[in-house]
Amino acid sequence: TALLLDRLDQAARELRAAAELAPDSELVHINLGVLLHRRRRFDDARHEFQRVVQGGTGAADAYHNLAQSYLEQHRYEEAAVSAEQAVGANPESAAARVNLGAALFHLKRFDAARDHLEQALREPDLLALGQHNLGLVYAVSGRLDPAIEAFEEAIRLEPEVTEHRLAMGYAYHISGQLREAYRCWNELVLDHRTARICYHLGLCEYGLQRFELAAEWLNEALNLDPGLAQAHFPLGSAYAALDKPELAVRHWEQGLDGEPESPELLSNLGLAYYRLGRIGEALSLLRRAYFVRPDDPSFCNNLALAYARAERYDRAAEFFECAVDLTPNSVIARCNLGLAQYLAGQVDSALEQWTQASHVDRTYYLRRQRDDLKNTFDDVELRALAVDWQARALPQRPLTAGFVHRFLSEIPELPWQLLATEEMSRGGEDLTSWRTASYAVEVRRE
């Protein structure tokens, strides 16, 4: 590798000397740009390509190379612009259409990407690459059968290229056929034990809920390529599922170094800090996740939970209210909002939320997954306060313990509902029994 880099640097020096002797030579600037691109000096490479664009006649090649440079850096908007200019300068260029299709694919403009990639299939030398990219477009569009056909054709044309089989596994993976994906990737790893293949096998094992195996494959991927930053997020998730929070936090922290604005990483790491009692750090990360994706009710809810744990109930109520606005039929969201409002001293508002929650279509809640319950208050002391609230608020309101019992039965899994029901069964409508329930929570906690 060092010898190759030395040769590339020597070639670049010679081309720079040639450019000084023939500053108008488009071929020299194109070749120099390609060499600089291979050395990953993308800005310098684009400078050379831009000089050709300004000259005129070699614009098609220059735009093509500009597009490839932007694609390499994941700058897909700019890649699409340059690729469109390359196609405009030479509509018959299959390579330019492959670049344009790839850029449009990453911009989620799948129909346009498919059109250009299908046109690129006319070029025999690019047929396998065109089939590969076309398969990706079909896969993310939810059309599994034509995606698999395209990848199989790419494999037939280039059986030695592992990327085609890797992508076919990806198509199976995103369509939910995890066992087929595992078969594709497991066949590859027997002969090509690369970091990317191990990474994808780890993802597949995680999807199959085989978390020990997922952790093994993802660790293997990082051993083979320590710079594979995207492996840290699923590895942290696997450790979280294995109830190893310290390892989960460590890998999410490393993943966040590579993707500092990833809302999923910010949220997962924030929740991990929350569960470890590191509330200040949790609030910082959960705020960042919320501001990246404010229209996601789970991010509103997570931030509200952290504020509640920090006893900043007014702020907790504010973000629980955001969650209610986004999911107005969620009993749990209104339950949390009412509790936070009560703890913030907003008793009337709290009663209003609980009253509205009691009128929500019960079948809506019953259709939800039990996993939604992870977003309820999970602090025992807060549950105790909730029961205590019933005891103190109800005697002054035109409500009965029976009403509260009916409302709480909407969420039968909550421990404080079960405790209250036990006390009610012994005390009937006697509200003093609700006060006893508050202390029962404390006793059980201890």
Q: Contact, 181 vs 172, CB < 8 A?
A: yes
Q: Contact, 306 vs 286, CB < 8 A?
A: yes
Q: Is residue 368 part of a domain?
A: no
Give me the pLDDT at residue 321, please: 92
- Indicate if the pLDDT at residue 157 is higher than 90: no
Scan for tokens 């000089």, then name that residue: 51
Give me the pLDDT at residue 264, please: 82
Q: What percent of the chain has pLDDT over 90?
A: 4
Looking at every residue in the chain, the average pLDDT score rounds to: 69
Spatial separation of the C-alpha atoms in residues 52 and 91, rounded to whole Å? 19
Q: Is residue 419 part of a domain?
A: yes
What mean pLDDT comes out for the span 64-93? 82
Return the CA Rg of the chain: 29
Q: Which pLDDT band holds residue 432 (cuts at 50, 70, 90)?
A: very low
What mean pLDDT comes out for the span 285-299? 89
Spatial separation of the C-alpha atoms in residues 222 and 203, rounded to whole Å? 13
- Indicate if the pLDDT at residue 424 is higher than 50: no
Q: Is residue 339 part of a domain?
A: no
Give me the pLDDT at residue 245, please: 82
- Indicate if the pLDDT at residue 109 is higher than 50: yes
Q: Is residue 175 part of a domain?
A: no
Q: Which pLDDT band holds residue 318 (cuts at 50, 70, 90)?
A: very high
The count of domains in the chain is 2
- Indicate if the pLDDT at residue 398 is higher than 50: no
Domain stops at, among 109, 129, 150: 109
Q: Is residue 166 part of a domain?
A: no
Q: Is residue 437 part of a domain?
A: yes
- Indicate if the pLDDT at residue 203 is higher than 60: yes
What mean pLDDT comes out for the span 34-51? 70
Model confidence over 111-145: pLDDT tens digits? 787 777 777 666 655 567 667 767 766 666 667 77
Q: Which pLDDT band holds residue 319 (cuts at 50, 70, 90)?
A: very high
416: its two tokens? 């404080």
Spatial separation of the C-alpha atoms in residues 290 and 300, rounded to whole Å? 6
Handedness of CA 400, 325, 300, 175 (dihedral sign): positive
Give me the pLDDT at residue 322, please: 93
Instruction: Report the alpha-carbon angle 61-66-72, nearest 5.
Output: 130
Give me the pLDDT at residue 315, please: 92
- Tell me the DSSP string of 172-204: HHHTT-HHHHHHHHHHHHHH---HHHHHHHHHH
Host domain of residue 407: 379-446
Q: Is residue 403 part of a domain?
A: yes
What mean pLDDT comes out for the span 25-35? 62
- Indicate if the pLDDT at residue 67 is higher than 70: yes
Model confidence over 210-256: pLDDT tens digits? 889 889 889 988 888 888 877 888 898 898 888 888 888 888 888 87
Q: Which pLDDT band holds residue 23 (cuts at 50, 70, 90)?
A: low
- CATH at 83: 1.25.40.10
Spatial CA neighbour of 319 closest among 329, 333, 309: 333
Q: Contact, 379 vs 346, CB < 8 A?
A: no
Spatial separation of the C-alpha atoms in residues 89 and 63, rounded to whole Å? 9
What mean pLDDT comes out for the span 406-419? 38
With a CB cutoff of 8 Å and minimum separation 6, the contacts of 17 are none
Q: Is residue 57 part of a domain?
A: yes
What mean pLDDT comes out for the span 152-157? 78
Q: What percent of the chain has pLDDT over 70?
A: 63
- Tell me the DSSP string of 410-436: TSTT-HHHHHHHHHHHHHTT-THHHHH
Window from 20-34, 46-60, 202-216 with minimum mean pLDDT? 20-34
Domain stops at, among 58, 90, 109: 109
First-last CA distance in the chain: 63
Window from 312-326, 337-351, 425-439 with minimum mean pLDDT? 425-439
Spatial CA neighbour of 132 closest among 93, 91, 102, 112: 102
Spatial separation of the C-alpha atoms in residues 174 and 7, rounded to whole Å? 42
Q: Which pLDDT band holds residue 15 (cuts at 50, 70, 90)?
A: low
Residue 398: CB atoms within 10 Å:
6
Domain stops at, among 59, 93, 109: 109
434 vs 107 pLDDT, higher one: 107
- Indicate if the pLDDT at residue 269 is higher than 80: yes
Q: Contact, 189 vs 197, CB < 8 A?
A: yes
Question: Half-sphere exposure of residue 120, counting CA atoms within 13 Å on the CB side?
Answer: 27
